[in-house]
Structure 1
């Protein structure tokens, strides 16, 4: 006997609805406009019936191939390798950006004084399950971009400064963890993702659609 709809965990139902939306869009069953409209509702609503309605007219259901592709795409894993344990980035009266494809050390010490520093981890390779970023930002404007499939722990303190966090990812015990800690003195530090969860799903749907064509 099936569990009553309203008794089901809302996050589990939301995940299933989004998966079915992606499945049907990637197979050409609904338009991009309909997919994005229903995806917005699925991401924002906490009503069981509203979620269920988004897929009630869709015939395609998730199969094993979809599940395997999704796991490969969304699951962030660290790959043990020969990477330095500690690295330091010093930025004084200048602009400094670290990004692209690079191996992240176990500990990254960042000192920024009267400058602008960007640490971009979105394409970085994680060789440790836990990465620590130690910040000392003084009279600076710094930004840290984190991937949308890693865990992030923020432990910063501010002295006449500010830390702006824009994260909407979910915790995954198997994913790498980035711990950001330190102090902002008369400085501004932002921790954010380059793409939203919605964009993440759209990108995956487009990836599947390309694979099927």
Structure 2
């Protein structure tokens, strides 16, 4: 049950409040308290929520809500991330904190950035993706908003990505280029049971 006063309940929520509730829902799902379908329904509602009351309704039956201070606190974005694959590879999968800026670079190598099970710490995420005679794939869940600005020179930089995202959900902007390489961008549904195992 919410402890909000009527005045608090109608106070407009900020992006940071929505992100914190999304993290709380992800934690509850990881512990098996929510099935995948219900988790995704609540997640869409959390991103669309306008008030604290609407956010509270999505978490009031979860023990995690009592354990965490998930509203009115300034959310601290994760630090910038650099992922390199030079004659090698990188993978960022499973549950991890997505920063506001990620730079990926592949040279005679490959990489995967999977955002489907990750915790966003910023409402806007810039990914600078570069592939030179290498390749990388960026996977997004259905609700994330997307803008792709990259270019391919004798290579590919995928722009035709299915789906439109959910109003209020974080926005990912992908920039960069590929030279004799490729940057793939795909929406992919989550699977019951959590993230797919990493490929060695």
TM-score (norm 2): 0.58
For the aligned residues, what is the CA RMSD?
A: 2.7
> Aligned pair 1:74/2:44, yes or no?
yes
2:82 paired residue number: 88
Q: For the Cα contact (< 8 Å) 1:76–1:149, is it kept in 2?
A: no
> Aligned pair 1:179/2:173, yes or no?
yes
Query: What is the Cα deviation at residue 169 of structure 1?
Result: 1.9
1:161 paired residue number: 155
Given the superposition, is the C-alpha separation of residues 167 and 109 from structure 1 closer, same or farther in structure 2, using an over 3 Å criterion? same
- Measured in 1, the distance between the counterparts of 2:83 and 2:103 equals 6
2:108 paired residue number: 114
- Rg comparison, structure with higher value: 1
Instruction: Tell me the number of residue pairs that the alignment of Structure 1 and Structure 2 aligns.
Output: 131
**Alpha-carbon displacement from aligned partner over 1:48-99 (angstroms, at most 9, x marks no partner):** xxxxxxxxxxxxxxxxxxxx98751434649863333411111100121111
2:198 paired residue number: none
Segments of 5+ residues of structure 2 without an aligned counterpart are 1-37, 49-69, 193-200
1:208 paired residue number: none
> Aligned pair 1:98/2:68, yes or no?
no
- Measured in 2, the distance between the counterparts of 1:100 and 1:75 equals 22
2:125 to 99, 106, 131: 131
Alignment of 1:186-201 (within 5 A): 186-195=180-189
Q: For the Cα contact (< 8 Å) 1:100–1:124, is it kept in 2?
A: yes
Q: For the Cα contact (< 8 Å) 1:87–1:105, is it kept in 2?
A: yes
Given the superposition, is the C-alpha separation of residues 140 and 191 from structure 1 closer, same or farther in structure 2, using an over 3 Å criterion? same
2:55 paired residue number: none
Q: For the Cα contact (< 8 Å) 1:76–1:176, is it kept in 2?
A: no
- Measured in 1, the distance between the counterparts of 2:39 and 2:81 equals 34
- Measured in 2, the distance between the counterparts of 1:99 and 1:180 equals 18
**Alpha-carbon displacement from aligned partner over 1:141-160 (angstroms, at most 9, x marks no partner):** 21110111010100001111
- Measured in 2, the distance between the counterparts of 1:121 and 1:76 equals 18
Given the superposition, is the C-alpha separation of residues 70 and 105 from structure 1 closer, same or farther in structure 2, using an over 3 Å criterion? closer
Q: Which has the higher helix share?
A: 1
